[in-house]
Structure 1
Amino acid sequence: MDPLIAFKALANPVRLRILTGLKEPARHFPPQDEGDIELDGVCVSSIQEGIGLSQSTTSDYLGILHKAGLVTMKRRGQWTYYKRDEDGISKLAETMRTKL
């Protein structure tokens, strides 16, 4: 993980809100028709609805968080699910503790 990419990803308040919401997805996003939140993660359409952005902007933001190593992505058929990457987040926190 490149900390600079992660910090740039988190500099956007909406992306930070998405990552924060994924910590307690049932509380921050509407129920989804397919997939298990705990097992699969949260479907893009549920994240989109919870955040109130277009599908393309939501997908772009999730792609940036994924590239930064802050979320994982899983595809099941036509659905794409995202979860927090707790290992990536822990590595970033450790970098902050030791380098700053």
Structure 2
Amino acid sequence: MLSTPADGTRLRILTWLAELGTAERGLTADDVAGRLGVPRPAAVSHLRLLTSLGLLRATPGDGGGPRYLRDEIRVAEVTRLFEKGW
């Protein structure tokens, strides 16, 4: 699920959310849409899927919708599963 679509969009979102500065404040759907160059609804779909997988958590934003942060514990769990070849 993470590598679909084939261009690695969801992996890029997870990578951005690990960057210094972004990791602390998170990203909004508008931030993701702007960085990806896609419509906001497409960004929201990616963020919702990552949230439903437990890889992101949504926190209240400052009027522009939720801010998304990585759930580092869940990301580590999934990473371990992939390393085991599951």
Taking only aligned residues, the RMSD between alpha carbons, in angstroms, comes to 2.2
Higher share in strand: 1
Among all aligned residue pairs of Structure 1 and Structure 2, give the percentage whose two residues are the same amino acid: 24
Q: Between the two structures, name the one with larger relative contact order (CA 8 Å, sep ≥ 6).
A: 1
Give the equivalent residue in structure 1 for 2:74. 88
What is the rounded CA distance, in whole Å, between the counterparts of 1:88 and 1:51 in structure 2? 24
Give the equivalent residue in structure 1 for 2:12. 17
| 1:60 lines up with 2:45 in the alignment | yes
Larger Rg: 1
- Is the Cα contact below 8 Å between 1:73 and 1:81 reproduced in 2? yes
Q: Per-residue displacement from partner, 1:8-63 (whole Å, max 9, x unpaired)? A: 13333111111111111657xxxxxxxxx62x421221111111111000000100
Unmatched runs of 5 consecutive residues or more in structure 2: none
Unmatched runs of 5 consecutive residues or more in structure 1: 1-7, 28-36
Q: CA deviation at 1:74?
A: 1.1
